[in-house]
Amino acid sequence: MSIAIVLFALLVTAWFLAMIESWTATGRLHPAAPLLSGLAHLGRESVVPRTPDRVFFETAPVLLLVAAMLGAAVLPLAPNLIIADLATGALFFNAALAYVLVALIMGGWGPNGAYAMVGGWRFLGQLIAYAMLIVMPITAVAMRAESLVNTAIVGSQESLWNIVYQPLGFVLFYIAAMALAFRPPFDLPTAEGELAGGVDAEYTGVRLAVLRLARLLLVVTLASATTVFYLGGWHGPLLPPWAWSLIKTLAVAVSMLLVGHYLPRIREADLLGWCWKLGIPLALLNIFIVGLLILVVP
């Protein structure tokens, strides 16, 4: 039952997000827009480029979708509303989302197109920049909870959310999550106007529909992770726990869309430089501060 509810919640959140995205792009709020757009994709011809690496080309969109959903499977909506409450939940979340990179490399290499390939390898370069900024803030979160179990991590924030306890970790994780979701200003692998869509460029029809759905679910999963790790998860007054989780997830996801809407695309070299020279020392400082707080404050 939990599986059905969590999957339904994921889809509803993704639908809401697609509606907001369409609103920011067209200026018109149309609740049926995501559905109509999806149906239009299904109706279009799904073109296969000349001499593709067929296995990679077909696998990439599905792998991206599966990675996003596996990441969401270990994030709790409420104390008992989680698909798999693993003992290594926080680590599993990283493991699942590591395959986003694999999917993008496959999607870049598979179609045998220059723009797509540049996009795929760019994402690898991007990963080298942000990967540590996903893992190191989660380490500090797990330190406070003294557990890798995601429900325990939410439980550790009952009195004080991690966004207050470790604000530096939150900022780093939020930025890295946007880079992992390759949303603007970190949309280097797709880079419309520069790479003509990059990894998306050669996909059409059903395959593009799956790819777009996967990207939306990825944003929802990362927003949900931000909620679980930093915004107290299901904790909140009056409303039922699942409602708080959904509200916070939606708020984070919409904030990611808005931030991307107003910022210009970052250069690869700048992203690498800032993440390595500034981000990683700050993430280490965050771990040190959290360690001190754990030792000093009872």
Partner 1 sequence: MYIQAFFVAVFGLAAIGFGVVVFRTSSMVRSALALLFSQTAVGCMFLAMQSEFLGVLQIMMMATEMSIMAIFMVMFMMDPGGLGGMDMSHQKRFSLGAGGIAAATAIAVALLSDWGPVTAEAPDAAMQTRELGFEMLGRSMLIFETAAVTILTAMIAATATAIPAREPANHDHKETSR
User: Where do contacts with partner 1 occur on this chain (CB under 8 A)?
Assistant: 53, 55-56, 86-88, 91-92, 94-95, 98-99, 101-102, 105-106, 109, 121, 124, 127-128, 131, 147-149
The nearest distance, CB 113 to partner 1, in angstroms, is: 13
Task: Say if CB 156 and CB 145 are below 8 A apart.
Answer: yes
* Nearer to partner 1 among residue 106 and residue 271 (C-beta): 106
49 within 8 A of 108, measured Cβ to Cβ:
no
Nearer to partner 1, 3 or 128 (CB): 128
Least spacing, CB of residue 167 vs partner 1, in Å: 27
Query: In the complex with partner 1, which residue's Cβ is closer, 133 or 257?
Result: 133
Minimal distance in Å, beta carbon 123 to partner 1? 9
Q: Which is nearer to partner 1, 60 or 257 (CB)?
A: 60
**Smallest separation (angstroms) from partner 1 to the CB of 71:** 12
Instruction: Quote the least distance from Cβ 196 to partner 1, whole Å.
Output: 21
Q: Decide whether 171 or 284 has the Cβ nearer to partner 1.
A: 284
